[in-house]
A = this chain, B = another copy of it.
Amino acid sequence: MILTPRIPALFLCVAGLAAWISTARGDDGYRLWLRYDQMAAGPLKTAYAAVLPRIVLATPTGSDSATLAAARDELATGLGGLLGFMPRITIEKRTDIPSAAGEEGYGLKRTEPGTLVISAWQDVGVLHGAFALLRAIQTRQPVEQFDTVSAPKIQRRILDHWDELDGFVERGYAGRSLWEWSVLPDYKNPRYRDYARACASLGLNGAELTNVNAPILVMTPGYLVKVAALADVFRPYGIRVYLTAKFSAPKELGGLPTADPLDPAVIAWWKAKVDEIYRYVPDFGGLLVKASSEGQPGPQDYGRTHADGANVMADALARHGGIVMWRAFVYQPSSTLDRVRQAAAEFKGLDGKFRDNVVVQIKNGPLDFMPREPFHPLFGSMPKTNLAIELQITQEYLGASIELAYLAPLFKEALESDTYRAGPGTTVAHIVDGSVDHHKLTVIAGVANTGTDRDWTGHPLAQSNWYAFGRLAWDHTLTSEQIADEWTKMTYSDEPKVLGTITKMLLASRETVVDYSMPLGLHHIMAEGSHYGPGPWSIVQGPGFRADWSPPYYHQADAAGLGASRSADGSNSIADYAPELAALWGNVDTCPENLLLWFHHVSWDYKMKSGRPMWDELCLRYQQGVDEIRGIQKQWDSLEHDIDPERFAHVQALLRLQVANACNWRDACLLYFQTFSKRPLPAGVEPPAHDLAYYEAVKIRYFPGTPGDPKVTR
């Protein structure tokens, strides 16, 4: 079968000019990493052209489909743009597909001169292969690299959108929700398809549409028809839709007197509701649930367990192939247990009690997406349970979309953490991908940083975090460096100066944020509400007070020293980990310094590896963060004449704000901690610009995405 490309030939003639116009007019970032600007002429372009006159899409059926049409469209657009070149694309029935391609992967192979075969067991694998081919060209790989087989290591690779139905995005810093509920299903914004293209280009295969705190309305027919419209747009791109479920839905939506998961009427209600969802969305992915946490209802309200709660939904979903993602982010204001231990305490005993189509979805760390945390102790502690990892792509605690923080190093740190549960090398990644305990259902979720801002992510460089999450979801063995290199080449340029500068900035950025905000294992000392900027003194007064939402609960600063005491003589959270780690982390002298104040209350005078007292080290680390972000700022400034002016100016402006906020962090935290340490700032630390009262009085933070009016004090 020979297919006519959908894009007329004239497009190809002018693609180069169009690219020029686009560049000359400035670049708004909308195209993400799928830019497809024309390559300069040269041997590599010639080599590509020689390989690609004919592309064969090979599947076991050889039948066309909407997914194969999407692959053809992308190849036509991409190759037309990159090479000014329109290959002949055919679909063929083949059975010599590499078995390693698995359900969603692909093989790429140059079979004869001028022919490249993209083969896959399923059509979506062909689509993934098409994107892989385009990425290889965008990143200027030699043609030998075209021959490859790839398959994802984790089954379900999902973006979680914390989007409310009114368009507000919780912890979203890039505008409003992408989903235009008010005009769906009638109007499908063309942007939905571009969202699906971007996700599919990374191999993501799920989109969870609504906030875990969102109302249950999304499960009513009026909204399900809208959900179905989105699912229809996403389906050709291999993206399945997931929704959040509120545990109390049988009462609130169903009018039942109870939501007890063992009540027969409740069981029947969930079954009927799930059946109804599948009538709208036949390939519906499943439900994400936040229960018994931060005010949400849950099975404990009826004396039942998390497993009871998850299983009632799981049973309803099972016959449709759907899953439950049951979040382990639970903690109670009434608990006397250290907050970072509560999830482990609640869940460990439930190992083996969850249905096969349930995953317990666990944040990377035991607290809440801090700039640095140790891994969550539930990883490795529930071998008979499917465990998903939830990473946060949106920068709730890392400066929102105002600040640069390339998160691949954070994601990798979590995934590569060694739990020791089945001996050394039992990494979190190997638990999540099911290889340690031979689980069939594997899930990785990332809380999206997308919104209606023209560049999708608010900060032009924050697109790299969406990219990094997607690439790691497919293959967690990729390095942060590889991913930064790919993304930069695709999104900016492979020109050595630009590539070298941007990748260097990206790779340094997360540690820089740690240094100027929460170094040495400090955590949860941000401003209340916005979570942006420093607030180590911050205690919510009045009836809303919760110790476990107050920074002093975490930093424990006093005259003696600083840091949470979580060793055996403290909350003993080390006991939640394997003995090897408990021993390492429980000893102040062997605990890695980047987690020191997470696990230990440390004397101001404690001698650090540098030989300096802890107080001096702390001060210098804050200063180092400021120095580093100033360095990053200078690196960016050096690119003024090397990249498009629009993105240049945007990032330049945001880096100015980041430098200012880094200084705020340093000054505010050191002045505050100094009230306990009573020690002078060491040489090399710049004097604060204001006194502590000034920083404590700052109530106005110019901050995107916070609902409601800013408060005024004067």
Q: Which residues of A contact B (CB under 8 A)?
A: 8, 10-11, 14, 17-18, 20-21, 24, 26, 28, 164-168, 175-176, 180-184, 186-188, 190, 214-217, 220, 222, 226, 252-253, 255, 402, 452-454, 646, 649-650, 653-654, 656-657, 700, 702-710, 712, 714
Beyond A14-B18, A17-B17, A26-B190, 7 additional pairs, beta carbon < 8 A: A14-B14, A164-B709, A187-B650, A216-B712, A220-B700, A253-B712, A255-B714
**Cα distance, A163 to B703, chains bound together (Å):** 15
Contact A646 B402 (CB under 8 A): no
**Cα distance, A714 to B220, chains bound together (Å):** 9
Partner of A714, one of B253, B649, B654, B703: B253
Contact B217 A710 (CB under 8 A): yes
**Cα distance, A535 to B215, chains bound together (Å):** 24
**Cα distance, A119 to B412, chains bound together (Å):** 64
Report chain B residues within 8 Å CB of A226.
702
**Cα distance, A452 to B702, chains bound together (Å):** 19
**Cα distance, A653 to B657, chains bound together (Å):** 41
Report chain B residues within 8 Å CB of A220.
700, 712, 714
Q: Which partner residue on chain B sits nearest A7 by CB separation?
A: B24
Report chain B residues within 8 Å CB of A222.
700, 702
**Cα distance, A226 to B702, chains bound together (Å):** 10
Q: Which partner residue on chain B sits nearest A706 by CB separation?
A: B166
**Cα distance, A453 to B255, chains bound together (Å):** 38
**Cα distance, A29 to B10, chains bound together (Å):** 23
Report chain B residues within 8 Å CB of A28.
190
Contact A703 B182 (CB under 8 A): yes
**Cα distance, A525 to B452, chains bound together (Å):** 33
Contact A14 B20 (CB under 8 A): yes
Report chain B residues within 8 Å CB of A215.
709-710, 712
Contact A17 B20 (CB under 8 A): no
Partner of A17, one of B14, B180, B650: B14
Q: Which partner residue on chain B sits nearest A191 by CB separation?
A: B454
Contact B26 A11 (CB under 8 A): no
Report chain B residues within 8 Å CB of A650.
187
Tell me, rounded to whole Å, the shortest Cβ–Cβ distance linking A171 to chain B.
14
Contact A175 B452 (CB under 8 A): yes
**Cα distance, A712 to B215, chains bound together (Å):** 8
Report chain B residues within 8 Å CB of A190.
26, 28, 646
Tell me, rounded to whole Å, the shortest Cβ–Cβ distance linking A131 to chain B.
20
Tell me, rounded to whole Å, the shortest Cβ–Cβ distance linking A144 to chain B.
34
Partner of A708, one of B18, B166, B704: B166
**Cα distance, A454 to B176, chains bound together (Å):** 12
**Cα distance, A220 to B710, chains bound together (Å):** 12
**Cα distance, A167 to B707, chains bound together (Å):** 8
Q: Which partner residue on chain B sits nearest A453 by CB separation?
A: B452
Q: Which partner residue on chain B sits nearest A249 by CB separation?
A: B712
Report chain B residues within 8 Å CB of A707.
166, 168, 707
**Cα distance, A37 to B359, chains bound together (Å):** 54
Tell me, rounded to whole Å, the shortest Cβ–Cβ distance linking A572 to chain B.
40
**Cα distance, A18 to B16, chains bound together (Å):** 11
Report chain B residues within 8 Å CB of A654.
183, 186-187
Q: Which partner residue on chain B sits nearest A8 by CB separation?
A: B24
Q: Which partner residue on chain B sits nearest A226 by CB separation?
A: B702
**Cα distance, A705 to B168, chains bound together (Å):** 10
Pick the 8 closest A-B CB pairs, nearest first.
Answer: A187-B653, A186-B653, A182-B704, A14-B17, A182-B702, A215-B709, A186-B656, A18-B21
Tell me, rounded to whole Å, the shortest Cβ–Cβ distance linking A80 to chain B.
12
Report chain B residues within 8 Å CB of A168.
707
Report chain B residues within 8 Å CB of A166.
706-710
**Cα distance, A28 to B28, chains bound together (Å):** 14
Report chain B residues within 8 Å CB of A183.
402, 653-654, 657, 702, 704
Report chain B residues within 8 Å CB of A175.
175-176, 452
**Cα distance, A186 to B702, chains bound together (Å):** 12
**Cα distance, A8 to B255, chains bound together (Å):** 67
Tell me, rounded to whole Å, the shortest Cβ–Cβ distance linking A662 to chain B.
14
Tell me, rounded to whole Å, the shortest Cβ–Cβ distance linking A657 to chain B.
5
5 contacts between A and B (CB under 8 A): A8-B24, A14-B14, A28-B190, A175-B175, A255-B714
Q: Which partner residue on chain B sits nearest A184 by CB separation?
A: B702
Report chain B residues within 8 Å CB of A402.
182-183
Report chain B residues within 8 Å CB of A181.
702
Contact B712 A252 (CB under 8 A): yes
**Cα distance, A18 to B168, chains bound together (Å):** 36
Q: Which partner residue on chain B sits nearest A186 by CB separation?
A: B653
**Cα distance, A19 to B182, chains bound together (Å):** 32
Contact A704 B454 (CB under 8 A): no
Q: Which partner residue on chain B sits nearest A698 by CB separation?
A: B222
Contact A704 B167 (CB under 8 A): yes
Report chain B residues within 8 Å CB of A700.
217, 220, 222
Q: Which partner residue on chain B sits nearest A255 by CB separation?
A: B714
**Cα distance, A372 to B375, chains bound together (Å):** 63
**Cα distance, A70 to B682, chains bound together (Å):** 53
**Cα distance, A704 to B702, chains bound together (Å):** 25
Report chain B residues within 8 Å CB of A252.
712
Report chain B residues within 8 Å CB of A705.
167
Report chain B residues within 8 Å CB of A714.
220, 253, 255
Q: Which partner residue on chain B sits nearest A18 by CB separation?
A: B21
Report chain B residues within 8 Å CB of A708.
166
**Cα distance, A708 to B167, chains bound together (Å):** 9
**Cα distance, A452 to B649, chains bound together (Å):** 20
**Cα distance, A8 to B700, chains bound together (Å):** 45
**Cα distance, A253 to B180, chains bound together (Å):** 38
**Cα distance, A646 to B215, chains bound together (Å):** 32
**Cα distance, A180 to B401, chains bound together (Å):** 12
Report chain B residues within 8 Å CB of A187.
649-650, 653-654, 657
Contact A21 B11 (CB under 8 A): yes
Report chain B residues within 8 Å CB of A184.
702
**Cα distance, A703 to B183, chains bound together (Å):** 8
